[in-house]
Chain A
Amino acid sequence: MGPEGSSITSSSGSSSSCSAAARAPDHHHHHQIDQLLAGAGYSVRSSQLHQVAHRLECLESVMVHNQNIPTHLPLQYHLANDVVHYNPSDLSSWVDNLLSELHQLQPGSSASSSGLPPCPGNYESTGWSPSEFHAPPPPRNGNGNESENQQPQEALSHVLHQMDQEDSSIQLVHVLISCAESVQCGNLPLAGSLIADLQALLTRVNTACGIGKVAGYFIDALSRRIFTAVPPGAASFMSCWASEDEILYHHFYEAAPYLKFAHFTANQAILEAFQGHDCVHVVDFNLMQGLQWPALIQALALRPGGPPLLRLTGIGPPSPDGRDSLCVIGLRLAGLARSVNVKFAFRGVAASRLEDVKPWMLEADPNEAVAVNSILQLHKLLGPDQVHGSSSVEQVLAWIRGLNPKIVTIVEQEASHNQAEFLDRFTEALYYYSTMFDSLEACSNRADNVLAEIYMQKEICNIVCCEDSARVERHEPLAKWKARLKGAGFKPLYLGSNAFKQASMLLTLFSAEGFCIEESEGCLTLGWHSRPLIAASAWQPVSD
């Protein structure tokens, strides 16, 4: 359970600019009564606020529709005179009652049902089971009439049908969060029964897109956590996916602009940092398939004054089948470098975890300009392990600093998935990956999308199912990374307007509108419809 305490509060404002905008709600208090509405005489749970608001909108919509039909008695009259009103303080039920009355005005509805499904376990439902209402499908107008010319009953049913769909989606989120909360409390029997409810709800929403799709993945992850016999700390929990990593990564790279943005932005910054240097050395914290480097090699080849000598050290996990896959990539990149006349040397460092890498393995030369490049890797160091009293991330940052790099490029997911409470991580992840999935849908490359989704599903599972050292997807927002890096003796290197312009241009190559790039204090963030999703920044050590 989240901590007990006061309800949604705001500090006494002393800011000079006034706004009526809401203060951020406190995530811990889903199931408490909204204290402010209580002071106004209404009892509504914080977790129900969205649902109640939605119902009020629907009611309004129905009544407005009805006003345009002069032959019918105003719905207001019916609601005022013929309806029994129950406790108006229980706002949610009062509104539901009105809606259910309106629904019963509709011909063909089952008059006996009153809309409240049985309550499974402790989960209190104020929703209604759409299957009990046989709402006719939205009317088809062959002659292309405007909606105002529809029969009033059809207009009503259309609104109610829409509402059913939206309702199920809202319920889905609500039950998902309840399920996560019962997992956090350790109430696995309740959690399990909620999974059953979730499966049922899934049948009522469109699972091909939107919240239905991402909810499916989260339900799956929760199921694994609840029903599997393997304890969540076990490292072997995730091993079944290890060999497929590269394939999934490649499809994720192709399907959406995130990794391309990361590589592009980092390369731009590295290129600028390497200006004037003849010997340069890039340390890549996760070589993968080396997709970032061909572009840098080509840019260095075209550098005025000629290319430098480029060394690339690629870190990656040891290959399961004994092949030296790092070396294979290195050879491929060497071939490319040779074809554009860039002197190139490659070294692979195999390590299953970043914390196992020691600086001497990198053979850094004091005469060369070093760039350390970390794309979506640093968050893996935020686990609980400590050696000699300092955490993995502190140690790694310390030896990076020891290399005296010209630049450290860091790209991380812009999300808060490393909070102490499971419920907080779960809720954050639900909203983050919903946005990620939405953005993916908008990018039209269907072939890549399926595997890209599985790539993300892996992250979701790690966040939801794993704990302790097995949980590596410990994403933290840029603000936290900034503080951490400053504390470790780094200062920001502003990504210039060049980087911003080029990143924006990159976006226009994608058909999906909705992506946006924002610049803030020298860092670039790529987001979807104003929700930032991935953040890039650059750093250098503070000189002693």
Chain B
Amino acid sequence: MAGSNEINASESKRVVPLNTWILISNFKLAYNMLRRPDGTFNRELAEFLDRKVPANTIPVDGVYSFDVVDRATSLLNRVYRPAPENEDQWGKIELEKPLSTTEAVPVIVFFHGGSFTHSSANSAIYDTLCRRLVSICKAVVVSVNYRRSPEYRYPCAYDDGWAALKWAHSRPWLRSGKDLKVHTYLAGDSSGGNIVHHVAVRAAESGVEVLGNILLQPLFGGQERTESEKRLDGKYFVKIQDRDWYWRAFLPEGEDRDHPACNIFGPRGRSLEGLNFPKSLVLVPGLDLVQDWQLAYVEGLKRSGKEAKLLHFKDATIGFFFLPNNDYFYTLMEEITSFIHSNC
């Protein structure tokens, strides 16, 4: 049983800045209202409450964005690019020329979080995060509006992720470098991190090149209750029972959490041996209750002979990267930057 409410509120308040605490507590409150005990989800209210922003071809703080629909899948992808140096070019969407012919520009295919259920590519928090990735990490970002549960269960999110990756790969205007190819990285937070792994597997199986995976507090789990889940249950914004609800909403009906979508290196997991799997950068917040699963994922990668770098931030809570008001945010951005530019 989680500790008393007031103590938890004050504990979580002590480790994050006040505005971050308000942001995440507000999400927690809203999400509590949206999940129904019978496993259904109040999508109407969710869409009403979600703060969304339109794309903007006029650069704001050096970044502009535009939405493109993949006609094959009706999937929306929002593209973020740095502003053209020449102001006369502002407001124009360049769909012919490559990003650069001289240097390689990393293209990050980004999957937003929300436990497979919440948020969209055009949610304000994710629009802002993607813009920061462009300006701080010097990349182009393609944010994917994948189909969500419980309306669309496994494997829809992975199918959409894979479709988006192929789409990005085939855009001539995302190519760069002397070799004129799309320098692709996959990134995502929470469920987005989970999608990164599965899309990377499919890409490796199909010979589509992914240069690196970036997983931010990825959503993994299993039937077993790990030590961190028991210790941190309810303490820093998240309860185990909430996590359970989201897995029940995403996994096929009747399945348990040892399903390979959820428990990557568990009894039913798919081995990575022989796969040309990309290097990974995995962020584990020290106060995330599923961190034992995230750490197990990194161990699993290493055991499979795959390159993996772990960023384990001791007193970071989930979602610390939504607001740039803490040291961890900047450290994370630095790590991502060197991760995506080390190949170039």
Contacts and interface: CB of A to CB of B under 8 A. Distances in A.
Interface of A: 8, 10, 12-13, 15, 17-23, 25, 34, 36-37, 39-42, 44, 49-50, 52-53, 56-57, 59-61, 63-64, 74, 76-77, 79-80, 85, 88-89, 91, 95
A95 B330 CA distance: 31
B326 A19 contact: yes
Contacts of B315: 19-21
A46 to B, nearest CB: 8
A76 B48 CA distance: 16
Contacts of B324: 10, 36
Given A41-B52, A53-B18, A18 B29 contact: no
Contacts of A74: 37
B125 A60 contact: no
B336 to A, nearest CB: 14
A40 B322 contact: yes
Given A18-B331, A40-B322, A53 B51 contact: no
A22 B28 CA distance: 21
B128 interface: yes
Interface residues of B, number: 49
B17 A23 contact: yes
Contact of A20 (B5, B15, B30): B15
B26 A56 contact: yes
A77 B203 CA distance: 42
Given A23-B325, A76-B33, A49 B22 contact: yes
B325 A36 contact: yes
A18 B327 contact: yes
B22 A39 contact: no
26 contacts: A10-B324, A18-B328, A20-B16, A20-B315, A20-B316, A20-B320, A22-B16, A22-B18, A25-B18, A36-B19, A37-B323, A40-B23, A41-B51, A41-B125, A42-B23, A44-B19, A49-B18, A52-B22, A53-B25, A59-B29, A60-B5, A60-B9, A61-B5, A61-B6, A76-B33, A88-B48
Contacts of A40: 23, 51, 124-125, 128, 322-323
Nearest to A80: B33
A13 B331 contact: yes
A284 to B, nearest CB: 44
Contact of A37 (B15, B19, B28): B19
Contacts of B338: none
Contacts of B123: 41
Interface in B281-320: 313-317, 320
A38 to B, nearest CB: 9
A8 B42 CA distance: 35
A139 B229 CA distance: 36
Contacts of A21: 15, 17, 315, 326
Most buried by A among B22, B26, B32: B22
B45 interface: yes
Interface in B168-200: none
Most buried by A among B32, B52, B324, B331: B32
B155 to A, nearest CB: 29
Most buried by B among A25, A44, A57: A57
A56 B24 CA distance: 11
The 9 closest A-B pairs by CB, nearest first: A41-B51, A41-B124, A22-B17, A13-B327, A13-B330, A39-B128, A36-B323, A80-B33, A18-B327
B13 interface: yes
A339 B134 CA distance: 81
A12 B29 contact: no
A26 to B, nearest CB: 12
Nearest to A8: B325
